[in-house]
Structure 1
Amino acid sequence: MWPGQAIYNGPALDLRAHSGSVACLAIGLDDVFTVQTQGRPVQAARSALIAPRLTHRLVAQSRRMLFCYLDPSSSRTLACERRMTSGDSGLGLAHREERLLIRHAPRPGSVASASSWLDLAAPPAPVQIDARIRDAAARLRAEVHRTVSAEELAAGCGLSTSRFLHLFPAHTGTSFRRYRLWTRMLRVAELTAERRDLTTAATDAGFASPSHFSEAFHRMFGLQPSRLLAAGVTIIDATAT
C-alpha cells in the first residue's frame, strides 16, 4: 500500500458481483479471466482496467490474480488508461505491457518489487487534475480518523458544496462519498497491518459497526473480509517501511 493505492497478489477468490470505489487493474497471473457486466458482452482477458462504480463480476480461470487499486487523485489512473489497448473508458482491456506485468508480478512481501511493478503498470506523470480536488483527496486520506464532510472540504477549496461535489467526480472518476469510503478501507488495512483486530480497526477507521464495515467491504470487493483473512493474506503498509 501507498497513499491511496493498494496491490493484492494471491489466490483467485470466488468474487461476487461488486462495484469498486477506485479503478482496479486486474491481471490473470496464470490464465485468462472473464469480466461480466450488465449490458456488455462477457470479456475474456489476461489484463483489464475496471472503472470505479462499474458493477461487475470477475470469474478467474487462473489460480492466482493480481489486483492493483489506483488512487484517482493521482495521475496513475490516467496513465494506466492510456496503456490499455482495447475496450473503453469503463472497461479497458489488454495492457500494453501485459506480458511484463505477468512475468514481473510483485514478490509477496517485497515493497521494492511492488513499487517497480506499479511504475510499469501506471507510471507517475504530471498531475492533471484540479489542484483543489487533489488537495481535498489528500486531506481525506490524512484525516480518515474523523468524518470530513463535503461542506468542510468545499469551504477549504473556496467552492460551494454543490460545485465541489460536481468537480470531485469530474476530476477523479469517482464520487466524494465513494472516495471517502475507500480511504476508510485503506485505514482498516493499515491498522490490520499493525496487528489490530478487524473489529477495532473498522471502528477506528470510522465505520459505525463491524457489520457496516463488512457490508461495505462486500459491496466494494465481492467477498467478506473474514474470507480474505482466512486465505492467509498478509497486509504490508509500504508507507511504514
Structure 2
Amino acid sequence: MHFRNHLYVWDDRFIYVTPGMVSEVTQRHTVTLLIALDPAGFVLGDTDGQQQRYQAALIARHRARSLDASQTRLLSINFDPQSYEHHALSHFLGEHQVRAVILQPGAIDASTMQRLGAGQLDSAALFRLTTTLPRAISGYQPVTINLDMRALHVAQKVKKELPLTSTVAELASDVGLSADRLSHLFSAKLGIPIKSYILWSRMRRAVQLIAQGEPLSAVAYDAGFSDSAHLTRTIRQFFGLTPSFIIKNMQVHML
C-alpha cells in the first residue's frame, strides 16, 4: 500500500498524514498531537532557533513552531476549539507549550496506520482515531469542561454560513448578547478571539475549495481574502504548505 499525503477534515478537527515533510514556522488555533510512525522521530523548532526531537508531542494552541519530519511518516491530529479534546488536552498541557508524550502500548497499530496513509480507512474508523489516541496518552485524564451553548452556536454558524460573513454584532444579536459581551464569552469559553476564529474558518474553507480545483483568485474571493497572494501567505502560516502543494501532492477529504 502506497503511503500518501492525506488531509481529513471534520467540523471540529482534522487529521494530516504524510510520508514525510518539512514545514516553515506555523501557528494554529488548534491543539495538535504529532506522532512519528517511524523510529527516527521528528524535530520541532521554535522562533529562537531551538530544536528538539520527539517521537510524539502535544503542541498548545497559538504555539509557533517549525517541523522537520523528513525522516518519518507522520500523523498530525488537530483539535479545533469546538471540540472536547481541544479543551481536555489544553488542560493536560497546563503551562507547557510543547510537551513530549508517551502513548500506551498498542495504541499505534501498524496496519491501521498503513491503511490511513493509503486512504483506506472509512470515516467512522478515522474519527475513532481522533478520540482514542488522546486517551492513550500516558497520564491523560478526561476532565469536566464548562462550555457555553451560545459560544458553540456562534462557532458553528460562522463555519456553516461561509462564504457569507456576519459581523460580530450580528452574531451577538443571534444569541441575545452585545458584541462586546459575545467577544468576551467566546474568548473565555473557546480560548480564541472570535475574529481569529472567523479567519481560521475562512482558511479551512479555502483549503476545501483549493482541493476541489477552484482557481486561487476565485478561492480568495469566496473565502474572504483580499487576493490570492494574501490567501497563499495565510495558508503557509497555518499549515506550512503552499496551495500548489495541496493541489499536486495532497488528497483532501471533507467528512
Range into which the TM-score falls when normalised by the shorter chain: 0.7 to 0.9
List aligned pairs for 1:77-156, cutoff 5 A: 77-81=86-90, 88-97=95-104, 100-101=107-108, 103=110, 104-105=112-113, 106-109=116-119, 110=121, 111-122=123-134, 128-156=146-174
Contact 1:5 1:69 in 2 (8 A): yes
Change (3 A) 1:199 1:125: farther
> In percent, how many aligned pairs have the same letter?
27
- Letter of the structure 1 residue corresponding to residue 31 of structure 2: A
Provide, for residues 179-199 of structure 1, a one-character-per-residue CA deviation record: whole Å limited to 9, x for no partner: 212212222233344443444
Secondary structure of the structure 2 residue equivalent to 1:15: strand
Instruction: Give structure 2 stretches of 5+ with no counterpart.
Output: 1-8, 136-141
Instruction: Give structure 1 stretches of 5+ with no counterpart.
Output: none
Provide, for residues 147-183 of structure 1, a one-character-per-residue CA deviation record: whole Å limited to 9, x for no partner: 2222222222322322322222222222222221221
Contact 2:210 2:247 in 1 (8 A): no
Change (3 A) 1:170 1:229: same
Which residue matches 2:190? 172
Which residue matches 1:6? 14
Work out which of the residue numbers 25, 40, 48 in structure 1 matches 2:33: 25
* CA shift for structure 1 position 126: 7.5
- Letter of the structure 2 residue corresponding to residue 161 of structure 1: A
TM-score by length of 1: 0.83
Contact 2:36 2:73 in 1 (8 A): yes
Secondary structure of the structure 2 residue equivalent to 1:234: strand
- Letter of the structure 2 residue corresponding to residue 143 of structure 1: E
How many residue pairs end up in the alignment?
A: 235
Secondary structure of the structure 2 residue equivalent to 1:138: helix
Provide, for residues 3-52 of structure 1, a one-character-per-residue CA deviation record: whole Å limited to 9, x for no partner: 13211111332211121122222222223222222479644322222222
Larger Rg: 2
Which residue matches 2:46? 37
Work out which of the residue numbers 74, 82, 85 in structure 1 matches 2:83: 74
> Using the alignment, how far apart are the partners of 1:9 and 1:28 within structure 2?
10
Work out which of the residue numbers 63, 66, 71 in structure 2 matches 1:62: 71
TM-score by length of 2: 0.79
